[in-house]
Structure 1
């Protein structure tokens, strides 16, 4: 059996549909019982992983990708990203969560048009693929109308990735939009036949313990449609903890993902664990927005499944390398702080780099109900693969601890090859589809729309919120004549 080597200069068009592909010589992180395979090969035929091992025999005409010196891992899975907001990337870099709510729910959320949802989804989808995120749950709570939802689906269908549309409307009553005839017709048009390339969930937030509990009807709709539910929970001090409400109505099930879950009493974690629910942790979000300390240290102790997410790039970064690094650091920081409180120290870390890589892959697959489809490099599963390799980067050599290398050393710029459903969508650091220019144009138009709609004064005040005053701590040594008592407070004080 023979194979022919594809050189980096080859055109992406040479990866023709149906032609077998083999990755040769990688450090393979299978994220299953096979563990780590040094100098390993992975053979892909059609859409599926055919074989994993060393020096694999391959069919004649197989395309061979030289993966020596690289790390081959499952495609990463983001279980909570507000994709439609991506066209306004970074405008909220200095926001508090109250300012986020004010922008999206009170002042300007209504300004998102269907075309803006399309622009944000297209840019976010292309960006996800580029960063090795092969599956993304679009927590699409900007679907004010079915026309907005149609625009979201149109963008997701154009991007060669795996997506789940979590249908929501933060400006509407979930008990109304989830039971409206036009919503049902939308579901029938796009999801009558189940497709693991584009799935459906309901994004339902319970904003208060209303005696009428109107959101209950949305949960019942999800049950009728046999789709999963994703809901923000324990996301903000001051908002009620609704786990008891959900528990009392029998709405906590294994098909529920709780996003953040960072500000909950002990009983709530027990209820999530008892009903088989899972938690999507967005560490950058929890640390920056005051939603509570990232809860992985508690979730581990309760035996609750964890997946990772980025939340929104209107505010933070948008790749899972950042999520893995922040999550591992935050969990370990909590352990150290607890030890210092006891006047002790941490002798061995509980959370390991391997664990957060698993959360970013199989954890996400389980949360989305796709664990039989993706999430690991296992023969028979769909071929969603990421090759991390950058011969021009001194940080990519040597690879001694492959899990640690993925978490602490690698970044989105080191993503060499991405395969989704057996199709090469990025090769030698370059996307194979020409969607980025379209996404740029659409996003530029969205930015112009918001600046014109808001006006320059509002645009600047949103982007650059007022900095609060902060008192300087008195310095008892200032009288020694250093002049410190007259020092000007530094930025951020």
Structure 2
């Protein structure tokens, strides 16, 4: 994903400490080096996820048939307030293990349910307990206003848990859903700017937020390259122009948008207006947790809409606009750029940190390998992730986690689910798992 180098066949990578030292043909390994035989394999930069609600990991899969309304009904209004700090720890710990196992070397924990300082501490404790790279996006979506931003909680976290160095494995930003132009929202946004804290916001969500939200953020001077707008789907061209002019980023979660109804994944709008794009998984309570699914969902949505519009006009699409290389860039360099880490990670470039993923090519789905980028996007899956390295440290090798405690993660998350189920009546659980079917749409 280094544009100066492109795709390189039969090439070696030398990692010294945490850093990629060199990339080239037949590199000589130092006498003391550990050699990982990657002959025939595909090596790519680690995936970067810019939006995942990791606190919901214990409720994996419960929302398979949900819409966005179902999600708010059950997850936000009823079950989110049940979570204790130990549930947050278990969810984030398992979420980090899950991410590393799937080749997501950097994950943004969009911490929606930091009800107390103890909840926030538990999240950071879990993120730092697994040696992957993470962004703690401090949020409290269940609070009535943004008083939690300015009342000392965020400053305490900055002082006690974060050094301000961007090369530490776990860094911080704010996760604030600025849905209306209130005075406390202005104060919270000013607070973030004063501390040079990046911000992420759910934006352009059908029925909740539209152009007025973007206009307010722009009017306060908040939109910038360090501001990430999640979904950003239900917007007009005027709003996309504002986003493009500000340099702000978009995080697209195509599985979520297509199934939940936030709006149609705006990849075509992003291309038209030149808005930087990253990809995200949203929540495993609803969707799959791997970047391979996200890349495919993004391509499917973009191309499917292009074909539909062409057919409605009695025409056919001659060549696809969004390419496999584009979505792989979204999933790597795009995510690094959104988090302000593109000088550190996102491509296999000498001098950058060694966040690397090696895929097997001897599986049936990957044999033979003719088009590396296309096969990563359309053929590869979790089961092909052989080796994962973060900051020069091997966390998975030969398909087995070696730098993360899966047994502990499973025990903690199962205990958390047992507790949550004890607080959720059986009837409520069944209603949530099986919402009534909607009317059949006519296409």
Q: The TM-score by the shorter chain falls in which range?
A: over 0.9
The range that moved more, 55-64 or 85-94, is: 55-64
State whether structure 2 residue 123 is matched by structure 1 residue 123: no
Q: In the TM superposition, what are the counterparts of 1:383-422 in structure 2 within 5 Å? A: 383-391=354-362, 393-422=363-392
Give the number of the structure with larger relative contact order, counting CA–CA contacts within 8 Å between residues 6 or more apart: 2
Deviation at 1:127, TM superposition (A): 0.5
Correspondence for 2:40:
69
State whether structure 2 residue 174 is matched by structure 1 residue 202: yes
Deviation at 1:282, TM superposition (A): 0.3
CA contact (8 A) 2:210 2:235 kept: no
Q: Partners in 2 of 1:364 and 1:411 — Cα distance? A: 19
CA contact (8 A) 1:81 1:309 kept: yes
Select 2:51's aligned residue among 65, 74, 80: 80
CA contact (8 A) 1:307 1:367 kept: yes
Select 1:224's aligned residue among 194, 198, 216: 194
Q: 1:338 to 1:470 in 2, by over 3 A?
A: closer
Query: C-alpha offsets along residues 96-128 of structure 1, whole Å, 9 cap, x if unaligned?
Result: 101111123322221011111111101110010
Q: Partners in 1 of 2:107 and 2:204 — Cα distance? A: 22
SS at match of 2:150: coil
CA contact (8 A) 1:257 1:367 kept: yes
State whether structure 2 residue 65 is matched by structure 1 residue 94: yes
Select 2:263's aligned residue among 288, 292, 298: 292
The range that moved more, 57-66 or 254-263, is: 57-66
Q: Partners in 2 of 1:390 and 1:402 — Cα distance? A: 10
**TM-score normalized by structure 2?**
0.96
CA contact (8 A) 2:97 2:404 kept: no
Deviation at 1:394, TM superposition (A): 1.1
Q: Partners in 1 of 2:145 and 2:13 — Cα distance? A: 45
SS at match of 2:34: strand
Correspondence for 1:44:
15
Correspondence for 2:351:
380
State whether structure 2 residue 398 is matched by structure 1 residue 428: yes
Q: In the TM superposition, what are the counterparts of 1:152-301 in structure 2 within 5 Å? A: 152-196=123-167, 197-209=169-181, 212-241=182-211, 242-301=213-272
State whether structure 2 residue 400 is matched by structure 1 residue 442: no
- Greater radius of gyration (CA): 1
Runs of 5+ in structure 2 lacking a partner?
none
CA contact (8 A) 1:49 1:382 kept: yes
Deviation at 1:470, TM superposition (A): 4.9
State whether structure 2 residue 337 is matched by structure 1 residue 366: yes
SS at match of 1:279: strand
Deviation at 1:192, TM superposition (A): 3.5
Q: Partners in 2 of 1:88 and 1:227 — Cα distance? A: 30
Q: Partners in 2 of 1:301 and 1:93 — Cα distance? A: 32
Correspondence for 2:276:
305
SS at match of 1:222: helix
SS at match of 1:42: strand
Q: 1:468 to 1:276 in 2, by over 3 A?
A: closer
SS at match of 1:67: coil
Q: Partners in 1 of 2:58 and 2:4 — Cα distance? A: 40
Correspondence for 1:315:
286
Deviation at 1:38, TM superposition (A): 0.6
